[in-house]
Amino acid sequence: MLIPIIIMVVKVLVIFAGLMTCVAYMTYAERKVVAHIQVRKGPLFVGYHGLLQPIADAVKLLFKEDFTLAGCNKIIYNLAPLVTFIPALLAIAVIPVGDQITVAGETTNLMISDLNVGILFIFAVSSLGIYGLVLGGWSANSKYSLLGALRSSAQMISYEVSLGLSVIGVLLLAGTLSLNEIVKAQSGGILDWFIFRQPIGFLLFVTAAIAETNRIPFDLPEAEAELVGGYHTEYAGMKFAMFFMGEYASMITVSALAATLFLGGWSGPILPPVVWFLLKMSFFLFSYIWIRGTLPRFRYDQLMRFGWLVLFPLALLNTMVTALIAIL
Amino acid sequence: MVTAAFIIFGLAAIVSAIMVISFRNPMASAIALIVTLCSIAGLFAIMGATFVAALQVIVYAGAIMVLFLFVIMLLNLKRDEFGPEKRKIQRTLGIILGLLLVLEVGIFIQAGLGDFGPSPAGDKGSFTSITELSSLLFTKYLFAFEVTSLLLLVAIVGAVILAKKKL
């Protein structure tokens, strides 16, 4: 009785610690990669080649003054960063990071919970993350924040539809909603990966995912040039950091999800499954930074038009064709 | 375990539902409504209907309530703009109808229709049960399903016409 509980606690702690480490070093990787894309050097002085920079950043943010705005709604203002941060952490719970292992006579999956509606759980939880942005932007009582919040809610609702539809093709082919089963359905070798059977679905998913996580070129909610900073303009210190940790955590979740759905998750030869999973996830995370360093930002009307008139019909078409093929 | 979770989610649903109608600040009401919807999703999950629970959160809490907040933010409703309630008829009618509803619910629970608990058909979250659900939607409940979609289409067309009168 005791051993399963201990295994559960260890799994939760390891995955949570791993995710937080990834979040911290994602900020470092982003600064470093973008710096090298722009022929700069990036963080260099704190630790070897700036490797301790994330810790220095965290310490700095923790010791900043925690001020309260005049005229803001205090409860909602303080709640909003948490509402962004926690759903981003929850979603990782259903993603399988490795094969079954046996510890002390107990066989366990390397995931916190093998929900049979795993993928719906991720969509449900990530759809709640939007409240953090909306409430944060509204409660600060500032027009820039409010504009950023309005944009983000419009954008996320629009792109969530395409994101959900782009996954349906994979679900139809795999015949399951459990992420563990989806990984098993593509374990027969590289040609079984859904990226080859769902190429359009893959592109749609990646595009919608970038918009859903508010990253360049779809980072209109926090467009510095026109909105000062967007929904988090009026935040500082650790609350500001929480918005960013939430954003990076959801980037990591989406990358893990893309690796699981389209690149066969943890399956792969020779190397241990966890390493394969991390490699595939890192590929998407690197692409995120690469895209950020390469593409300019969309205009807001272009963004909405692209979402509804290009992405959405394509996703519908992809679903229809896949369903036809699945029946035949 | 299940009973404890049921009590927690049930209490959360009831308390937040009361908060929805008692707050004067529309933003606070909307947030309380989100909590209500999430607690109801929790109740669905306890009863083994994980698919319905996920849909509840995705559709109601994740999409519809965002639009509610959107509207409240755009209209910038403030606490004091409603003024004191004056309509006496509404209040008496509300009390009478509310009592009727309580009575009705009581009768149904008495009649054994309120036999709540996990459904005997097993786990509703598996893909086979989703297949069952969709085949039911397209056979037994086809008429209701299509009528609903027609209703939604009418609503969309109506909204577009209202918004763009010059079209």
| Dist. CA A150–CA A135, nearest whole Å | 10
Residue B154 clears pLDDT 90, i.e. is over it: yes
Segment A148-173 shows an average pLDDT of: 84
| Dist. CA B89–CA B95, nearest whole Å | 10
Residue B121 clears pLDDT 70, i.e. is over it: no
Segment A200-229 shows an average pLDDT of: 80
The residues in A 46-105 lying below 8 A from B, measured between CB atoms, are 73, 76
In tens, the pLDDT along B43-98 reads: 888 877 788 888 888 888 888 888 888 888 777 666 555 556 667 788 888 899 99
Segment A145-172 shows an average pLDDT of: 84
Q: Return the domain boundaries, chain B.
A: 2-125, 126-167
> Between chains, do B127 and A123 touch, taking CB under 8 Å as contact?
no
Q: Which residues of chain A make contact with B53, given a CB cutoff of 8 A?
A: 124
Segment B130-148 shows an average pLDDT of: 85
| Dist. CA B167–CA B164, nearest whole Å | 6
In tens, the pLDDT along A10-54 reads: 888 988 898 988 898 888 888 889 888 888 888 888 878 888 888
> Between chains, do B127 and A177 touch, taking CB under 8 Å as contact?
yes
Cis omega (within 30 of 0) for bond into A217: yes
Domain B2-125 annotated CATH 3.20.20.70: no
Q: What pLDDT was estimated at residue A314?
A: 92
Residue B120 clears pLDDT 70, i.e. is over it: no
Closest CA to B18 of B38, B4, B36: B36
Q: Is B103 on the interface with A (CB under 8 A)?
A: no
pTM as predicted: 0.83
In tens, the pLDDT along A262-301 reads: 888 888 788 888 888 899 999 999 998 898 888 888 887 8
Q: What pLDDT was estimated at residue B128?
A: 57
Q: Which residues of chain A make contact with B126, given a CB cutoff of 8 A?
A: 116, 176
- Chain B nearest-CA distance from A72, in A, is 13
Higher pLDDT among residues B123 and A184, named by residue: A184
Q: What pLDDT was estimated at residue A317?
A: 93
Q: What pLDDT was estimated at residue B167?
A: 58
Contact A46, A53 (CB under 8 A): yes
As for the ipTM of the complex, it is: 0.79
Residue B119 clears pLDDT 80, i.e. is over it: no
Contacts of B155 (CB under 8 A, 6+ apart): none
> Between chains, do B54 and A130 touch, taking CB under 8 Å as contact?
no
Measured CA distances, B92 to A296, B21, B105 (Å) = 60, 16, 20
| Dist. CA A61–CA A267, nearest whole Å | 39
Which chain B residue shows the shortest CA-CA distance from A171? B127
Q: What pLDDT was estimated at residue B100?
A: 94
